[in-house]
Structure 1
C-alpha cells in the first residue's frame, strides 16, 4: 500500500505539480504578463452568463474597452447570441474547457476533447476558430505544453478573488486599482455558476470594474485584447531585447562564424553577404530538377546557407512571417545573379558542381526562381534540421516564440534544389548572352532557308 501511495505521489508530482509550478512562476510556454506602457488586458472566465455578461458588454462598450473572454463550452451553447455579440464588438474569445474541470485530473486525450468540442462551438457561432486557451484554475498537466497543437496557453498577472461575494465591491476595487498599469493581464469572472463561486458575485465585479475603467481612462491606459497586448510585448522585445536574448543572439552569430571557418564557406559579397556556400557531395535520393537533370548520390552540389546576421536584421524589421519571406525573396533575387557570375568566373567550380542545394523553412515561393522543393526524407538529419531551424525562427521571428508555435504546421524544413544549367541560363550574364546569340543565329538560319529560292 505504501508503494502504491508513493508511486501515486510521484506521478501526481511530475504529471501535475511540477508543470504547474514552472508555468505559473517561470512563464514556461505560457503568456501571463505583457510589456507595454499603455496597454493592459482584461480577461473574463467561466461565462457567458445571460445577465452579467450582457451588463459587462454594455460597460466595455461605454468605455471603448476591449476584452478577452475565456468561455466554457457548456455556457457558450446556452448563450450563442452573447458569443456573437462579443465577436461583433471586437472582443477576443478563448477556450476554458467544455466544463470547469481541472486538467490535473484529466488524461491528455480528455483535455484535447474538451478543447476541440469548445473550439467547434465557438467557431460554429462566430465563424472564427479560437487559438487561445486558459485551463481552469490555470492548472496544466505535463502534456499540455506540447500536446495542444496551435493552441496558446494564457494565464494572468493578477487575480482578485472576485468569484466570492464576501470580498465586496469596495475591497475588490482597491485590489484592482493596484494593478492599473500597462502590461497587466487581469483575471475576472463574469459568471458565478462554477464550483466554489458565488452566483451573484459578478455584480460586485461590475461595480468595481466601472471605477477601474474610469481610473484607466484618466491614466491614458488602454484596455486591449490579449493578442494585441502580446503583439505590443513582442514589438517591445524587438526594440529592447532581454539580456538573455542578446546572449543567445551573440552566441548564435559567433557559432556561425566558427562554422564558416571550419567548413571553408565562401560568399559573393563579403561586405553584405546573403548566401554562404561550399562544395560537397550530395547524399540523398535522386531528384529530378526542373530542366530534367537528375541529381544523384555523390554528385557535387553547392550547399547554400542564408546569412544569419542578415536573417536577424530582417526579423527585427519585420512585423510578421509574410514580411520576413518577402525580404528574403528580394535578397535571393538580388544574390542569384551574383552567385551565377561567381560560378562563371571560377572554372574549377563551374566544372564540378551539378546543382545548388539548401534546406529552408521559407519554402513557399522558391519555385519562381527555378528551385525544386522536395520533402526531407525522414532521418536524424531531418529531425535535427527541423529543431535547429525552428530555434532560429524563434530567435528572429518578430512576434516571438508564441507566434511561431501557432504555425508549427507551416514550419517544416524542405530541400530547395536548382540545377547548374538553370542557375546559369536564368542568372548568368555570359551564359545568357551566348544562349541568346545561338538562338538568334538559329532564327536567322531558319529565315534564310525559308527565303532561299527553290533548286527546282
Structure 2
C-alpha cells in the first residue's frame, strides 16, 4: 500500500505539480503577459452564457474594445449565435476544453480530444480554427507542453476572483483599476455556471468592467486581442531572452560541462571550441554506409558533439537564419580538417569505422560528405526530438516561429561519415574538396540556403 501511495505521489508530482509550478513561476512555454505601451488584454473564460455574454459584447462594442474569449465547447455548442457574434465583431475565440474539468484528472488523450472537439465546434460556426488554449483553472500537466506545437497556452498576469458573487462590484472595481496597466492579461468570467462559480457573479463583473473601460478610455489605454499582444511582444523582445529562457540556457550549459566531464569528451580546438568528440562502441541498428561498408552494433565510432556554449553564442548573436547558417558552415569547414588530422595521428581513433552524430538536419550535411539516415523510432528518438525542439526554440533567431511553421520537418536524424572518407576528403594529402568549398562563394551561398531551410541551428549531437 505504501509503495502504491509513493508511486501516486511521484506521478502526481511530475505529471501535474511540477509542470504547473514552472509555468506559474517562470512562464515556461506559456504566454501570460505582454510588453505593451498603451495596450492590455481582456480575456473571458467559461462562456458563452445566454444572459451575460450578449451584455458583455454590447459593453465591449461601446468602448471599441477587443477581447479574447476562451469558450467551453459544450456551452459554445448550445449557443452558436454567440460564438458567431464574437467572431463577427472582431474578437478572438480560444479553447477552454469541451467541459470545464481539470487537466490534472484527465489522461493526455482525453485532454487532446477535449481540445479537438471544441476547436471543431468553433470551426463549424466561424469557419476558422483556434490555436489559443487556456486550460481550466490554468492547470497544466506534463503533456500540455508537447501540445504547444498545435496550440498556444495562454495564462494571465491578473486574476480577480470575479467568479464569487460575495466579492461585490465595488471591491472588484478597485481590483480592476489597480491592475489597469499596459501589457496586463486580465482574467475575467462571463459565465457563472461552472464548478465553484456563482451563477450571478458575472453581473458584478459587468458593472466593474464598465467603470474600468471608462477609466481606460481616459488614460488612452486600449484592450486588444491576445494574438495581437503576442505579436507585439515578440517584436519588442526580438534579440532578448526571457528569464525563463536564461534559466534554461544556464541549466543547459551546466549539463554541457557535466557531460564533458563524465564522458571525457575531447575538443578539436580547445582555444576556440566548436566540436567535441569521443571514441565509443556503436549500439544502434545496422546501417549501410555505401561501397559495401556497413556500420553494425559493436563497431567503434567517433561520436561528434557541438559545443553548447558556442552554439548558443552563434544563435543569439546572428541577425538572421542565413547569417547563422553561414557562420556554422565556416566553423565546420575549419574544424573537419583539424579533426581529420587528430584522427589520422591516433591509431586508436583511426581504427574507428565512422564519424557519428544526431541532428535535425534533413539536407545540407551531405555537402560535407555525411550520410543522413532516419533515427530508429523509439524512446531515444522521442526524447531526442523533445530535447532538440527546446534547444531550437532557445538558440535559433526565430526558433519559436520555426517550431510552429516547420514542426513536421524537425525530426532528428543520424549523420554518418566513414572515417576513411573523412581522412580522404579532409586529411592533409587531399585538401581539394575543402579548398574548393571555401574559395567558391556561390557554393557557400547555395549551402547556406540549404542548411537554413533545414534548420541548421537545431543541429546537436545528442548527449
TM tier, smaller: 0.5 to 0.7
Q: Is the 8 A contact 1:67 1:91 kept in 2?
A: yes
CA distance in 2 between partners of 1:367 and 1:67 (Å) = 47
Deviations 1:198-246 (A, max 9, x none): 667545534533442343455555534445656738975973654x865
Equivalent in the alignment of 2:363: 365
Q: Using the alignment, how far apart are the partners of 1:126 and 1:416 within structure 2?
A: 46
Partner in structure 2 of residue 23 of structure 1: 20
Shift of 1:358: 0.9
* Long gaps (5+) in structure 1: 436-456
1:75 aligns with 2:75: yes
Corresponding position of 1:145: 142
Match of 1:34 in 2: 33
Deviation, 1:22, is 7.8
Tell me the alpha carbon deviations over residues 173-210 of structure 1, each in whole angstroms, 9 at most, x when there is no partner: 32211111244332112344556656675455345334
Structure 1 residue 14, shift from structure 2 partner: 8.1
TM-score (norm 2): 0.67
Please tell me whether the aligned partners of residues 47 and 70 of structure 1 are also in contact (alpha carbons under 8 angstroms). Answer: yes
Does structure 1 retain, via aligned residues, the 8 Å contact 2:253–2:308?
Answer: yes
Provide Cα deviations, 1:337-361, integer angstroms capped at 9, x if missing partner: 324433565643796555432112x
In the alignment, structure 1 residue 239 sits paired with structure 2 residue 240: yes
Is the Cα–Cα contact under 8 Å of residues 46 and 194 in structure 1 kept in the other structure? yes
Residue number in structure 2 paired with 1:448: none
Matches of 2:171 and 2:241 in 1, distance apart?
37
Q: 1:59 to 1:422 in 2, by over 3 A?
A: farther
Contact 1:43/1:68 (<8 A) preserved: yes
> Partners of 1:422 and 1:213 in 2: how far apart?
70
The CA deviation at 1:121 is: 1.7
Q: Deviations over 1:55-79 (max 9, x none)?
A: 5456546656443211111232244
**Secondary structure of residue in 2 paired with 1:239:** coil
Aligned with 2:431: secondary structure? Answer: helix
Cα 1:153/1:255, change in 2 over 3 Å: closer
Worse-matched range after superposition: 244-253 or 155-164: 244-253
Alignment of 1:278-289 (within 5 A): 278-289=278-289
| CA distance 1:196–1:274, change in 2 (3 Å) | closer
Which sits farther off after the overlay, 131-140 or 406-415? 406-415
1:44 paired residue number: 44
Matches within 5 A, 1:290-329: 293-316=293-316, 329=325
The 1:187–1:264 alpha-carbon spacing in structure 2 relative to 1, beyond 3 Å, is closer
> Which structure 2 residue ranges, 5 or more long, are not aligned?
437-463
1:253 aligns with 253
Match of 2:441 in 1: none
Quick one: which of 326, 333, 336 aligns to 2:329?
A: 333
Q: Any idea what SS the aligned residue of 1:276 has? A: strand
Q: Aligned to 1:348, which of 336, 345, 349?
A: 345
Equivalence map 1:379-418=2 (5 Å): 385=384, 389=388, 392-393=391-392, 396=395, 413-418=412-417
Query: Corresponding residue for 2:264?
Result: 263
- For 2:17 and 2:247, the matched residues in 1 are separated by 28
CA distance in 2 between counterparts of 1:195 and 1:351 reads 68
Report how far residue 44 of structure 1 moved: 0.6
Residue 290 of structure 1 contacts residue 419 of structure 1 at CA under 8 Å; is this kept in 2? no
Distance 1:156 1:387, change over 3 A: closer
Residue 333 of structure 1: CA displacement? 2.8
**Which residue is 2:444 aligned to?**
none
What is the number of equivalent residue pairs in this alignment?
418
CA distance in 2 between counterparts of 1:290 and 1:82 reads: 63
RMSD: 5.1
Cα distance change of structure 1 residues 259 and 107 upon mapping to structure 2, 3 Å threshold: closer
Contact map agreement 2:340 2:422 (CA 8 A) in 1: no
Cα contact 2:44–2:68 (8 A) shared by 1: yes
Distance 1:353 1:340, change over 3 A: farther
Over residues 235-275 of structure 1, what are the superposed CA-to-partner deviations in whole Å (9 max), with x where a residue is unaligned?
A: 75973654x8656645643553565576352335843x443
Distance in 2 (CA, whole Å) between partners of 1:24 and 1:379 is 29
Report the CA distance between 1:81 and its aligned residue. 5.4
Structure index of larger Rg: 1
